[in-house]
Structure 1
């Protein structure tokens, strides 16, 4: 705490305790340095730091910066008062405090005691939060502290996984050269390269390949069109579910191949994943914030609950956990009415890997993994759409 008045410094110290703050114990070397600035050497430097013996506002800025340099100091309350002839230097001081706060990425709560006209002018022109009461300033610091503690930003960095980035780069570059979005098998390859599990599948180009694919995957299967002309497969009738026998697969194959204006390039056969809850994972490139990660419940829940969570990538593990837990529907994933809980850790892992993918490849406009089946043990993607920037 820095203050031009010892009296309001004491009041602020009491308020700091109320808001759960601890006052950092200044080192002897720092106190000796500040004491050397004083004229009368009567005031003994401590925290709160009474600057009443100083009238050099440049020294205020110097002391503030030295405090912000201390690694263990998380934030500063700066209480400043000014009379008429001190308006201009006070404005420069407040501007400097704002710049130092941004430079050191630590909050500086400014409590400015002056007349109403000067206060209004300063708030309007400097563009930085200014308070008139230490209790309010400390309350704002407490809100900021609690927010970042919840986010886990101070404690944990986003993880970096070992991934096959070269494989993804090749797929993306090929599609960009051909001026198209990724085909379904390519989208599966991309998320698999980043460690996101995909339900077993086979790509079939000829009808006589169906039997081998069915035998390898097992039954039942879903069959899905692969075509650069059809991105919304279900809307176009390009997804046929619950196929148990080869004759059904052959009939579905013929129907799918005829959907496109040109013949579909291939058909995907994929295992039908039973049990679990459907969730949605996605990313998009926001023009202001860059890559953003999305999580929500899918299937029948998406229309009923209509809620999702968003975070700016890259995200840390606590952020991924919060994306899931903050949804009202998260209790469905934890298990209700005797149903087994879904594997929350597996979904967190998928979110973290998707976040890394979105950051690594800004040329990807959006990813929609819908659904991901959240199982009692593990989670697997069943469908995926990846759109590239034009």
Structure 2
């Protein structure tokens, strides 16, 4: 899933195997890219037409109704009994000339982006007559045309027609052995055409970001830990703040009394968490206590946490409770093939169970950020699901772009996990953050990040 999302972002056509790759290459080598996903199917046998329609739908293509003038013209061209909806069934007795005229007529329909000719061998019409007809159409049509020739041996080949005096040079039509291959190839071509039309977006510049301050934080952490380390929670929060990212700042406590003093200074419900940066899944181990209303509650939570974790607790952080909202996850991961990636998903304690997350390459544009948010299965939660107030998606996009900027400016950040980032009606706040830093070579790998 991660690689597929990255390929789509970069405009790479990824086929399911070598055969599908050759299918798409053959189509793109001989036909224009379709303007959309609206497909018309024309064939001489009803059964194969149904199979082709099912294959097209499975590939994500649409079969719209043909325009009324197109249907009237087809009725006048085709033998009695022909069906002129979509798919168009020319019936088995159709002549090569009538089949060619039918393809030309459908190709001229303004509501169609591509045409698929389905040719079945029958005793009434020679198969070569219909394949030559299909090849003749592509020489004069601007609508992409592909064919399915049932019974042909090759998986995919090209159909060509002999040149006629005074006619344009014949084109080549990719012909597939089965409709499933044709549908998938047309779908991938339409997806690539959509990517080419997609606005590129822009990488924003943030005036309130202090890269030098963020770098100083990392240099201080690595001064005596050249092999790398997890930042302490208070330091990780400082790094986010240097990137202009709203964060519920934690304060470090090493005793129950310090925890009580900090809670009193905050003046409201607080959260107390184990501060050891190497402690993972703190909630599972009793390392998180929420909604502590008074300083006494904070002190008691510290003592009970110490009893459960001992030295592994590493002290505690105390921070203000943040109002409920949509819990999301924002992170940085280092991929050996693609370099630093931005990850986004549904967060909170259920993040691993739901596994609803996606990734994008750097640099991240505003368009990338918007699409990344909407790529999740659960993205509806951010847009007022079942009467809930819509979250501040603009603030979330801003956080994603700022995290991407940190990843771009500071390659020493080898891993970041902001979970949860709580998104409200007005704003988004990082509540818990883990960041790992390490020394990296100053010369970038020339293979990485060529996709952008």
- What does residue range 366-385 of structure 1 map to in structure 2 within 5 Å? 366-385=415-434
Shift of 1:367: 0.3
Asked if 1:354 corresponds to 2:403, the answer is yes
- What does residue range 225-264 of structure 1 map to in structure 2 within 5 Å? 225-257=274-306, 262=311
Find the counterpart in structure 2 of residue 159 from structure 1: 204
CA deviations on 1:156-196 (whole Å, 9 max, x unpaired) are: 22112231222221221222223421011111111111011
Shift of 1:225: 1.9
In structure 1, stretches of 5+ residues that fail to align are 1-11, 21-119, 121-130
Q: Is the 8 A contact 1:367 1:384 kept in 2?
A: yes
Shift of 1:211: 4.2
Q: Is the 8 A contact 1:224 1:240 kept in 2?
A: yes
Find the counterpart in structure 1 of residue 214 from structure 2: 168
Find the counterpart in structure 2 of residue 144 from structure 1: 192
Secondary structure of 1:295's partner?
A: strand
Shift of 1:314: 1.6
Shift of 1:260: 5.8
The CA distance in 2 between the partners of 1:138 and 1:239, in whole Å, is: 52
- What does residue range 201-240 of structure 1 map to in structure 2 within 5 Å? 201-240=250-289
CA deviations on 1:64-112 (whole Å, 9 max, x unpaired) are: xxxxxxxxxxxxxxxxxxxxxxxxxxxxxxxxxxxxxxxxxxxxxxxxx
Shift of 1:326: 1.8
Q: Is the 8 A contact 2:273 2:316 kept in 1?
A: yes
Q: Is the 8 A contact 1:258 1:264 kept in 2?
A: no
Find the counterpart in structure 1 of residue 161 from structure 2: none
- What does residue range 79-118 of structure 1 map to in structure 2 within 5 Å? none
The CA distance in 1 between the partners of 2:332 and 2:360, in whole Å, is: 10
Shift of 1:313: 1.5
Q: Is the 8 A contact 2:31 2:173 kept in 1?
A: no
Q: Is the 8 A contact 1:316 1:352 kept in 2?
A: yes
Secondary structure of 1:234's partner?
A: helix
Query: Which of 328, 341, 344 is the equivalent residue of 2:377?
Result: 328
Could you say if the C-alpha distance between residues 303 and 265 of structure 1 is closer, same or farther in structure 2, counting changes exceeding 3 Å? closer
Shift of 1:142: 5.8
CA deviations on 1:267-300 (whole Å, 9 max, x unpaired) are: 2111121221100111101111111001111236
Q: Is the 8 A contact 2:287 2:313 kept in 1?
A: no
Find the counterpart in structure 2 of residue 274 from structure 1: 323
Asked if 1:199 corresponds to 2:248, the answer is yes
Shift of 1:244: 1.1
Q: Is the 8 A contact 1:285 1:362 kept in 2?
A: no
Shift of 1:388: 2.3
Q: Is the 8 A contact 2:237 2:250 kept in 1?
A: no
Question: Superposition RMSD on alpha carbons, in Å?
Answer: 3.4
Shift of 1:149: 3.5
Shift of 1:301: 5.6
Shift of 1:361: 1.4
**Count of equivalent residues:** 269
Could you say if the C-alpha distance between residues 17 and 349 of structure 1 is closer, same or farther in structure 2, counting changes exceeding 3 Å? closer
Could you say if the C-alpha distance between residues 264 and 19 of structure 1 is closer, same or farther in structure 2, counting changes exceeding 3 Å? closer
Shift of 1:15: 6.4
Shift of 1:324: 0.9
Find the counterpart in structure 1 of residue 445 from structure 2: none
CA deviations on 1:19-58 (whole Å, 9 max, x unpaired) are: 48xxxxxxxxxxxxxxxxxxxxxxxxxxxxxxxxxxxxxx
Could you say if the C-alpha distance between residues 229 and 259 of structure 1 is closer, same or farther in structure 2, counting changes exceeding 3 Å? farther
Shift of 1:255: 3.4
The CA distance in 1 between the partners of 2:384 and 2:187, in whole Å, is: 38
Could you say if the C-alpha distance between residues 234 and 304 of structure 1 is closer, same or farther in structure 2, counting changes exceeding 3 Å? closer
Shift of 1:143: 4.2
Find the counterpart in structure 2 of residue 109 from structure 1: none
Shift of 1:266: 3.9
